[in-house]
Amino acid sequence: MINPTAFAKTTRSSANWADASKRVIKAYRDWYRAAPAIVNLYVLDVPTPAVRAKIRQEFERSRYVQQLPVVDMLITKSDMEFQETMNYWKQIPQLMKYFRSEEDSRSQVPKDFMTGFLEVCPMKN
């Protein structure tokens, strides 16, 4: 049975950078430790190390954020995503979107307008 409040956290602001750092590390550890459960729960055909690498990559994207309110917002969003994921409220495509760029060559953004246009509308002879 799923308990909707099992992974719920109250929204709060960090007192300082040290507090924010502790909260980010806690969120990262929660995600990292839950990777095998996520793979099993959603029956993903992605190995656990790949899921952990993607988790690391997502946290690294926000590594150099310099504003404390933005860090607090990112932590809150991470907590919400974690709750939704662990309570099985997501669908598999919502999880697989994180792996799309590696496997789908069409998801790459074209270098310029003309290249993208010619890929979509090839010339007919």
Cα–Cα distance list, 57 to 24, 43, 114, 124, 125 (Å): 14, 22, 31, 41, 44
Quote the pTM value.
0.75
**Domain limits of the chain?**
17-120
- pLDDT, position 99: 84
Residue pLDDT, tens place only, 14-32: 999 999 999 999 999 999 9
**What pLDDT shows up at residue 123?**
64
Taking CA atoms, 89 is separated from 73, 94, 115, 121, in Å, by: 21, 10, 39, 38
> At 27, which amino acid appears?
A
Where is 78: in which H helix or E strand?
A: helix 68-86
* pLDDT value at residue 43: 93
Buried b (16+ CB within 10 A) or exposed e, 55-70: beeebeeeeeeeeeee
**pLDDT of 1 higher than 60:** no
Give the model confidence (pLDDT) of 60-110 as tens digits.
999 999 999 999 999 999 999 999 999 988 999 999 988 886 555 555 666
Question: What are the two backbone dihedrals, phi and then psi, of residue 62, each rounded to the nearest 5 degrees?
Answer: -105, 20
Which single residue is written with the structure tokens 């099992």? 6
Higher pLDDT, 125 or 116: 116
What is the tens place of the pLDDT at every residue in 36-56? 999 999 999 999 999 999 999
